[in-house]
Amino acid sequence: MDDEGIKVGAKASLSRALKEKFYVEGHERPGGLFVTNERGLTYGRYPANLEAVTRKLEFAQRGLAEKDDLVRELRARIFSLEAHLGGMTQSLDFYKAGRERFLSVFKRDKLGTNTAVDRRIIDKGNDVVHGGDIVTDAFIYLPNPKVYGNLGAKIL
Protein backbone atom coordinates (compact mmCIF):
# COMPACT_ATOMS: atom_id res chain seq x y z
CA MET A 1 0.00 0.00 0.00
CA ASP A 2 1.40 3.42 -0.94
CA ASP A 3 1.38 6.60 1.19
CA GLU A 4 -1.67 8.03 -0.53
CA GLY A 5 -3.65 4.86 0.12
CA ILE A 6 -2.68 4.95 3.79
CA LYS A 7 -3.85 8.56 4.09
CA VAL A 8 -7.20 7.82 2.44
CA GLY A 9 -7.76 4.75 4.62
CA ALA A 10 -6.83 6.60 7.80
CA LYS A 11 -9.10 9.49 6.90
CA ALA A 12 -12.01 7.16 6.19
CA SER A 13 -11.51 5.32 9.48
CA LEU A 14 -11.29 8.58 11.39
CA SER A 15 -14.37 9.97 9.69
CA ARG A 16 -16.40 6.87 10.58
CA ALA A 17 -15.24 7.01 14.19
CA LEU A 18 -15.95 10.70 14.50
CA LYS A 19 -19.39 10.45 12.90
CA GLU A 20 -20.35 7.70 15.28
CA LYS A 21 -19.27 9.41 18.52
CA PHE A 22 -18.24 13.05 18.03
CA TYR A 23 -19.72 14.33 14.80
CA VAL A 24 -21.27 17.82 14.91
CA GLU A 25 -23.17 18.98 11.83
CA GLY A 26 -21.55 21.85 9.92
CA HIS A 27 -17.95 21.25 10.97
CA GLU A 28 -16.80 19.99 7.59
CA ARG A 29 -14.79 22.59 5.74
CA PRO A 30 -13.55 22.88 2.16
CA GLY A 31 -10.19 21.28 1.67
CA GLY A 32 -11.02 18.32 3.90
CA LEU A 33 -10.76 20.14 7.24
CA PHE A 34 -12.80 18.25 9.83
CA VAL A 35 -12.94 19.23 13.48
CA THR A 36 -15.15 18.18 16.33
CA ASN A 37 -15.21 21.38 18.38
CA GLU A 38 -15.10 25.15 17.98
CA ARG A 39 -11.58 25.43 19.39
CA GLY A 40 -10.38 23.23 16.56
CA LEU A 41 -12.13 25.51 14.06
CA THR A 42 -10.28 28.51 15.46
CA TYR A 43 -6.94 26.80 14.98
CA GLY A 44 -7.99 25.63 11.55
CA ARG A 45 -8.74 29.22 10.51
CA TYR A 46 -5.53 30.53 12.05
CA PRO A 47 -3.87 31.80 8.85
CA ALA A 48 -6.95 33.84 7.88
CA ASN A 49 -7.37 35.08 11.43
CA LEU A 50 -3.71 36.04 11.59
CA GLU A 51 -4.11 38.25 8.53
CA ALA A 52 -7.19 39.93 10.02
CA VAL A 53 -5.49 40.45 13.37
CA THR A 54 -2.40 41.81 11.62
CA ARG A 55 -4.55 44.32 9.71
CA LYS A 56 -6.28 45.37 12.94
CA LEU A 57 -2.95 45.75 14.70
CA GLU A 58 -1.53 47.89 11.89
CA PHE A 59 -4.67 50.04 11.94
CA ALA A 60 -4.39 50.43 15.72
CA GLN A 61 -0.71 51.35 15.43
CA ARG A 62 -1.52 54.06 12.88
CA GLY A 63 -4.25 55.37 15.18
CA LEU A 64 -1.84 55.31 18.10
CA ALA A 65 0.74 57.28 16.13
CA GLU A 66 -1.92 59.88 15.34
CA LYS A 67 -2.86 60.03 19.02
CA ASP A 68 0.81 60.46 19.95
CA ASP A 69 1.00 63.44 17.58
CA LEU A 70 -2.14 64.86 19.15
CA VAL A 71 -0.74 64.36 22.66
CA ARG A 72 2.47 66.21 21.68
CA GLU A 73 0.41 69.05 20.20
CA LEU A 74 -1.79 69.27 23.29
CA ARG A 75 1.23 69.24 25.62
CA ALA A 76 2.71 72.16 23.67
CA ARG A 77 -0.59 74.00 23.93
CA ILE A 78 -0.79 73.30 27.68
CA PHE A 79 2.74 74.65 28.11
CA SER A 80 1.76 77.78 26.20
CA LEU A 81 -1.42 78.24 28.22
CA GLU A 82 0.43 77.73 31.50
CA ALA A 83 2.94 80.41 30.48
CA HIS A 84 0.06 82.71 29.56
CA LEU A 85 -1.67 81.93 32.85
CA GLY A 86 1.52 82.79 34.72
CA GLY A 87 1.45 86.24 33.13
CA MET A 88 -2.22 86.61 33.99
CA THR A 89 -1.57 85.61 37.59
CA GLN A 90 1.10 88.29 37.86
CA SER A 91 -1.28 90.74 36.23
CA LEU A 92 -3.93 89.72 38.76
CA ASP A 93 -1.59 90.72 41.59
CA PHE A 94 -1.18 94.17 40.04
CA TYR A 95 -4.91 94.44 39.47
CA LYS A 96 -5.60 93.41 43.06
CA ALA A 97 -3.16 96.03 44.38
CA GLY A 98 -4.88 98.70 42.25
CA ARG A 99 -8.37 97.67 43.43
CA GLU A 100 -7.28 97.56 47.08
CA ARG A 101 -5.81 101.05 46.64
CA PHE A 102 -9.07 102.28 45.13
CA LEU A 103 -11.07 100.93 48.06
CA SER A 104 -8.67 102.37 50.64
CA VAL A 105 -8.77 105.80 48.92
CA PHE A 106 -12.57 105.58 48.90
CA LYS A 107 -12.62 104.75 52.62
CA ARG A 108 -10.19 107.62 53.32
CA ASP A 109 -11.90 110.25 51.16
CA LYS A 110 -15.60 109.32 51.42
CA LEU A 111 -15.90 107.52 54.75
CA GLY A 112 -13.32 109.54 56.64
CA THR A 113 -11.32 106.55 57.89
CA ASN A 114 -7.56 106.94 57.61
CA THR A 115 -5.81 103.92 59.14
CA ALA A 116 -2.16 102.94 58.91
CA VAL A 117 -3.16 99.76 57.07
CA ASP A 118 -5.04 101.78 54.44
CA ARG A 119 -2.06 104.16 54.03
CA ARG A 120 0.24 101.17 53.38
CA ILE A 121 -2.27 99.76 50.87
CA ILE A 122 -2.48 103.15 49.12
CA ASP A 123 1.33 103.47 48.96
CA LYS A 124 1.67 99.95 47.54
CA GLY A 125 -1.13 100.59 45.06
CA ASN A 126 0.42 103.90 43.96
CA ASP A 127 3.49 102.03 42.71
CA VAL A 128 1.26 99.86 40.55
CA VAL A 129 -1.22 102.49 39.40
CA HIS A 130 1.22 105.33 38.74
CA GLY A 131 4.21 103.22 37.79
CA GLY A 132 4.61 101.73 34.38
CA ASP A 133 5.37 98.40 32.87
CA ILE A 134 7.80 99.29 30.13
CA VAL A 135 7.66 95.92 28.37
CA THR A 136 3.86 95.87 28.31
CA ASP A 137 3.82 99.48 27.11
CA ALA A 138 6.20 98.59 24.28
CA PHE A 139 3.94 95.75 23.14
CA ILE A 140 0.98 98.13 23.15
CA TYR A 141 2.81 100.51 20.83
CA LEU A 142 4.58 97.98 18.57
CA PRO A 143 1.56 96.62 16.66
CA ASN A 144 0.49 100.06 15.43
CA PRO A 145 3.51 101.97 14.07
CA LYS A 146 1.29 104.29 11.96
CA VAL A 147 -0.16 105.77 15.14
CA TYR A 148 2.82 105.59 17.50
CA GLY A 149 5.73 105.68 15.07
CA ASN A 150 8.65 103.61 16.30
CA LEU A 151 8.03 104.38 19.97
CA GLY A 152 7.64 100.67 20.87
CA ALA A 153 10.99 99.82 19.29
CA LYS A 154 12.68 102.68 21.15
CA ILE A 155 11.24 101.43 24.45
CA LEU A 156 12.52 97.91 23.93
Distance CA 101, CA 22 (A): 93
Write out the H or E segment, with its range, that includes residue 28: strand 28-29
Structural domain spans, the chain: 45-155
Q: What is the pLDDT averaged over residues 97-121? A: 92
Q: Say if residue 99's pLDDT is above 70.
A: yes
Q: What is the pLDDT averaged over residues 10-39? A: 61
Task: Tell me the CA end-to-end span of the chain in Å, nearest whole number.
Answer: 102
CA distances from 141 to 1, 26, 138 (A): 103, 83, 5
- pTM value? 0.35
